[in-house]
Amino acid sequence: MADLLSRLSERYGCDKFDRKHRYTQLYNARLNKHRSQKFNMLEFGYGKGSSCRMWLKYFPNVNLVSVDIGEIPDLKDPRFEYIQADQIDAEKISEVIVKYNEFFLVVDDASHVAEDQQFTLGYMFPFVEPGGWYVIEDLKCKRNHSLKFDVKCSLTESVLRNYVKTCGDFFCPILNESQKMYLRDHIEDIQIYNKIAFIRKR
């Protein structure tokens, strides 16, 4: 029998449980014990809103913020806030950080572009609660390099696997030395699966 999050994913038409992904079992294994807790969650990437509906049902006390470049959706819930912004718009995202301060769970399911993913990790990880999770989805999704940066990054999966292999080296030109040091000092563990990575904060 499928776990609760997987069933909710099916109910709301969220692709996190479809054959190509199977993410919900991995999420459920880590987060089920936190279901009744009150915390802030940030998800980059709204799409059709199916994952937001799933998360709001799964976490009955969560404050959920969704960031996406799309038009403001019609999802109305007192525990939900939508921010219309690019995931690399640091100025706009800083407004969210000032309001919520920190997040127990951050999910990057937005552009799937390597440069965007790695910029967002470097920028957002300091605002993950100690013991919280930063998750990057769709690591094998093939996207062109971003034209918004002057550098090109290796695939995020490769960068993360190299970090694990070398016990702390981030070969990523988008991250500055201060960000790399922060990540090394505050990452407890990185668990990499076929298309998704779970990064636990110390």
Sequence-ordered list of residues with C-beta below 8 angstroms from that of 197, at least 6 positions apart, any chain: 135, 136, 139, 156, 157, 160, 190, 191
Active-site choice (34, 112, 145, 186): 112
145 an active-site residue? no
Q: pTM for the full model?
A: 0.97
d(CA 98, CA 91): 11
For 131-161, the pLDDT digits (tens) are 999 999 999 887 889 988 999 999 999 999 9
* pLDDT score for 184: 97
| Per-residue pLDDT, 132 | 98
- Rounded CA separation 100/49 (Å): 21
pLDDT digit string (tens) for 119-138?
A: 999 999 999 999 999 999 99
59 pLDDT more than 70: yes
**pLDDT of 202 higher than 80:** yes
> Residue 19: which pLDDT band, with cuts at 50, 70 and 90?
confident
Q: In angstroms, how far is CA 75 from the centroid of its own chain?
A: 20
Write down the pLDDT at residue 62.
98
Whole-number pLDDT of residue 20 = 79
Express each pLDDT in 32-41 by its tens digit.
Answer: 999 999 999 9
Query: What Å distances lie between residue 191 and 23, 74, 76, 77, 197, CA to CA?
Result: 13, 35, 34, 32, 6
The CATH number that applies at residue 107 is 3.40.50.150
Domain around 39 = 4-201
Q: What is the model's pLDDT at position 1?
A: 64
Counted domains in the chain? 1
